[in-house]
Amino acid sequence: MILLIQFRRDQSGWHELKCFYESLDLSYNQIQIINAGSETISSKEILSLARKSKGIIIGGLGETGYGEINVEKKFWFNNIREKMVFVLKKIIKKNQPPVLGICFGHQLLAESLGAKVDFSPKQAETGVTKIHLTKEGMADPLFKGFNSMFLAIEGHKDAVLNLPKKSLHLAYSHRCLIQAFRYKKFFYGLQFHPELNYKDFLFRLSLYPDYQKQKTVNQKPIVKTKLIFKNFLFQICDLRV
């Protein structure tokens, strides 16, 4: 079983689930879905499901972030952070199961490892971005089958500001230095969205007017990043279908 952790409260939640389901290419009963953004979901429940999982994928969050100024949203956001940082530290300590954090999930994983994450307008990206693999990234099983440069969908205003200690730097972009990292053998963070193609990106963008203002591409490029999930499931998690 693969545990998919979501946080979204708005209509992007079902769309994120659709994109992950299409990208993972697993039977529906092989995926356990939980929304850690719900106040009724405790860290204990998440850890219980994690122990039964072959791997964990942590999704993104579009309606708020580290730069939130609305008091109510900031309170909710910080509660999620505290819950997930606690959960991730426990998982990392046990060194299992493997984790793939995407966008907000990437930021939470980095924060759990002691890195600084914050609102970062200079590193904000929305649209299709060129991702460059480092030497370590080219050799990593997560990026097996990728060229040293590939296109990926971005949608973030926050960024990981420093590489977590004892982590490998796997990828970067022109604006955002830490696009991907790995801690130990099984814990990965990706700032970009491998579950999104360009069509899905345009729909997601329609839900967030603030992000539309930052859109950085107008042409229709071909984005092929779903191979990352195949690599994570079968190379990292050793999943058997």
- Enter the tokens of residue 21: 């389901």
Q: Which residues pair with 55 in a beta bridge?
A: 2
Neighbours of 81 (CB within 10 A): 17
* Rg for the chain, CA atoms, rounded: 16
Which residues carry out catalysis? 103, 193, 195
As separate numbers, helices (DSSP H) first and strands (DSSP E) second, the chain gives 8, 11
Q: Are 65 and 124 in contact (CB under 8 A)?
A: no
Q: Which of 95, 12, 27, 97 is nearest to 59 (CA)?
A: 12
Neighbours of 78 (CB within 10 A): 12
Q: How far is CA 163 from CA 53, 78, 137, 139, 187, in A?
A: 27, 22, 14, 18, 13
- Enter the tokens of residue 226: 């779903």
In DSSP notation, 204-232 reads HHHT-HHHHTT----S------THHHHHI
